[in-house]
């Protein structure tokens, strides 16, 4: 019984759900009218967007576009291309990078390289900050890869690109110089759709290798139904990715 309540009560009493409960109580005290209707619509939108009920199908619609691929199933290619976005910018750590959940990208890249699926790994991406502060992420990762025992001759760091479209064009320029035509593309599963389309538009033959999945294959349990800040984060990421696809299509990147 204790275990049950230890899972259920936080779903109601943590700051985020507690705020939603208080917001509902406050909304009920508003005078009837358009503003009250607007507040309730906004409240319902936030509650649903924070729940697994909405977040999971939305994110899964992106993550399921390309089937997971094992290392053994991956074909031989000319290079492994890893998109950055896994190093925490401006971290106080000085002797090593501090990774986010997207660290699966570079770990998969190492596995593919060690299993001889390609002779070269290209890490693409500079700083994602508008101010461009700090060392470019690709350079940070190259140093880290060397520390992990990867020969420097097998690593190419592309540090000029600032977004996915530039990742593709800058990598394609490197590929042209080196005679690279077919690559294994490694990025987060939700981001693979836009990434693969960009790299194909740039003229490369792409083998998608999605990693960093957010949605499990099975329903995680009743506690996932409660609104949670993590659910809103997943919903926001999925909506941002769809917005990116639309913007890239309008811009001609896809």
Q: For 195-222, what is each residue's pLDDT tens digit?
A: 999 999 999 999 999 999 999 887 766 7
CA–CA distances in Å: residue 231 to residues 50, 53, 155, 245: 4, 9, 36, 21
pLDDT at 71: 96
Domain residue limits, the chain: 1-50, 79-211
Taken in order 220, 224, 229, 231, is the CA torsion positive or negative? positive
What is the rounded CA–CA span in Å between residue 48 and residue 7? 20
Angle between helices 52-63 and 229-251 (to 10 degrees): 40
Under the banding of pLDDT at 50, 70 and 90, the label for residue 223 is low
Residue 132 pLDDT greater than 90, yes or no: no
Q: 83-98, pLDDT tens digit by residue?
A: 999 987 666 666 778 8
User: Mean pLDDT of all residues in the chain?
Assistant: 88
pLDDT at 51: 87
pLDDT at 130: 57
Longest dimension (CA), the chain: 70
pLDDT at 17: 73
pLDDT at 219: 75
Q: 66-77, pLDDT tens digit by residue?
A: 999 999 999 999
Domain boundaries 79-211, corresponding CATH code: 3.40.50.620
pLDDT at 129: 60
22-43 mean pLDDT: 83
25-54 per-residue burial string, b: 16 or more CB within 10 A, e: under 16: eeeeeeeeeeeeeebeeeeeebbebbbbeb
48-52 mean pLDDT: 87
What is the rounded CA–CA span in Å between residue 98 and residue 137? 11
181-188 mean pLDDT: 97
pLDDT at 141: 94
């Amino acid at each position: 019984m204790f275990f049950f309540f230890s899972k259920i009560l936080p779903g109601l009493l943590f700051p985020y759900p507690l705020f939603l409960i208080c917001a509902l109580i406050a909304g009920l005290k508003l005078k009837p009218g358009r503003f009250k209707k607007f507040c309730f619509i906004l409240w319902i939108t936030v509650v649903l967007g924070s729940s697994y009920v909405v977040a999971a199908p939305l994110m899964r619609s992106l993550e399921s576009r390309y089937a997971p691929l094992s290392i053994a199933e991956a074909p031989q290619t000319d290079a492994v291309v890893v998109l950055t976005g896994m190093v925490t910018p401006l971290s106080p750590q000085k002797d090593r990078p501090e990774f986010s959940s997207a660290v699966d990208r570079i770990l998969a890249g190492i596995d593919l390289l060690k299993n001889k699926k390609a002779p070269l790994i290209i890490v693409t991406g500079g700083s994602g900050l508008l101010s461009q502060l700090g060392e470019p992420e690709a350079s940070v990762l190259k140093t880290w890869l060397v520390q992990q025992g990867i020969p420097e001759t097998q690593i190419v760091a592309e540090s000029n690109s600032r977004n996915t479209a530039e990742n593709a064009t800058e990598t394609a320029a490197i590929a042209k110089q080196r005679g690279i035509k077919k690559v294994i593309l490694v990025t987060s599963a939700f981001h693979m759709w836009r990434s693969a389309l960009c790299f194909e538009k740039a003229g490369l033959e792409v083998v998608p290798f999605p990693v960093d999945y957010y949605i499990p294959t099975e329903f995680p349990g009743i506690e996932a139904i409660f609104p949670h800040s993590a659910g809103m984060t997943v919903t926001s990421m999925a909506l941002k990715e769809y917005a990116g696809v639309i913007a890239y299509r309008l811009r001609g990147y896809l």
